[in-house]
Amino acid sequence: MTAGNNGAGTPEDDDPFAHLYRSEGGEGGAQGAAGGSAARRPGVPRASYNQVRAVGERQYGQRQYGQQQVPAQQPYGQQNAHYAAPETLPGGNGTRQGPPPGHGQDGPPRRSHKGLLIGAISVVAVVCIGIGVAMLTNQGDKKDEAGGGDPTPTAGESVKPSDKPSDKPTKAPLPKEDAGALRLDGGAATAKDVSGAKGTGGTYVAGFNKVGASVTWTVDVQNAGDFRLYVRYGIPGKPANATLTVNGKPNAQPLGMKNFTHSPEGDWEKGWQTTWAPITVNKGTNTIKLSCEQGNQCDANIDQLWLAK
């Protein structure tokens, strides 16, 4: 016994392709016995290392991965007596089945590159969308921080007016009038000799330094209440005063026309100043009179009169 035949009787009995045309038992067993090889018995190792397979047990077209079909050795041009055509086998249709989809001839299944490419594109798209959202959010936060959450309209934006009327009534400006446009009595008259007056055309009231001289203003007021009467006047660097009468009632205190600016004495142009006195008026028409009475120092020019709260 050698490593080459493992106890075979003759070299012919060690044919590695004998399983293609030899069957166990029956006629094949008899032939094996004729060739000097004993039939296989249970519990006794096979004399040959080859795995004998009966002809017809293998199904064509169902080769497993990693296995290779070995053709039978036979003389050229002669067909094996035990050969069976595929169409004669059970379930055979005469057509040889090809390898399963996705497999090569003898290699493992091929990996689909199309699926990998789609997955990579999806990942890139998700990353780009995330970056865009982050940038927009960051810009929105910066705008909120810069504008305090209440952005003002730009030049290209339009501001829609409110459709709701305002709850507060529109207040008309309080009246103001040039002294030269009022009623003048007792020798008072308009003049333009001294510059600096704010009346129309530089006109003011002169000749007020006489007892009985007066300037009367008839004015309409929307609401009754306490107001201030402002008087713009001019003096020659020394103080003056006059009597103030509202709706026929003289004020307890005269209207003081002091030298607040400390203008030099005798300089009428630099003596233009403003004073005020508290008065109470009624709703509607009121009469305000500024006059030179006994005990007053009336050496002054009168420029303008107006009311204020």
Same-domain status, 94 and 198: no
Do 189 and 283 share a structural domain? yes
**Same domain membership, residue 190 and residue 275:** yes
Domain stop point among 69, 100, 131? 100
- Residue 235, domain member (yes or no): yes
pLDDT tens-digit profile of 260-288?
999 999 999 999 999 999 999 999 999 99
* Domain shared by 91 and 181, yes or no: no
- Same-domain check for residues 201 and 296: yes
Question: Which is it for the CA torsion 9, 15, 16, 19, positive or negative?
Answer: negative
Query: Phi and psi dihedrals of 255, rounded to 5?
Result: -80, 115
In a domain, 257, yes or no: yes
Residue 157 lies in a domain: no
> What is the structure's pLDDT at 173?
86
* Residue 93 domain flag: yes
| pLDDT at residue 34 in the model | 41
Domain presence at residue 127: no
In a domain, 123, yes or no: no
User: Do 182 and 303 belong together in one domain?
Assistant: yes
Give yes or no for a contact between 51 and 24, defined as CB atoms under 8 angstroms apart.
no
Domain region containing 231: 176-308
Residues 194 and 303 in one domain: yes
Q: How does pLDDT run across 177-227, given as a tens digit for each residue? A: 999 999 999 999 999 999 999 999 999 999 999 999 999 999 999 999 999
Q: How far is CA 167 from CA 139, 164, 170, 283, in A?
A: 39, 9, 9, 22
Beta strands in the chain (DSSP E): 176-178, 183-185, 189-191, 204-206, 214-221, 225-234, 240-246, 249-250, 255-257, 272-281, 284-291, 301-308
Task: Name the domain boundary from 79, 100, 121.
Answer: 100
Q: Please, which pLDDT band fits residue 239 given cuts at 50, 70 and 90?
A: very high
Q: Pick from 100, 124, 151: which residue ends a domain? A: 100
User: How confident is the model over 289-304, as pLDDT tens digits?
Assistant: 999 999 999 999 999 9
Pinpoint the alpha helices (H) of 153-202.
none
Are 182 and 304 found together in one domain? yes
Domain membership of residue 183 (yes or no) is: yes
pLDDT digits (tens, 9 = 90+) for 1-55: 444 445 455 555 556 665 665 555 444 444 444 444 445 555 555 555 555 555 5
Overall domain count for the chain: 2
My answer on whether 96 and 200 are in the same domain is no
Whether residues 190 and 88 share a domain: the answer is no
Amino acid symbol at 235: I
- When comparing pLDDT for 184 and 102, which is higher? 184
92 and 184 co-located in one domain: no
Return the pLDDT at 31. Answer: 44
Within a domain: 47: yes
Same domain, 304 and 210: yes
% of the chain with per-residue pLDDT over 70: 53
CATH of the domain at 299: 2.60.120.260
User: Tokens 């339009």 map to which residue?
Assistant: 158
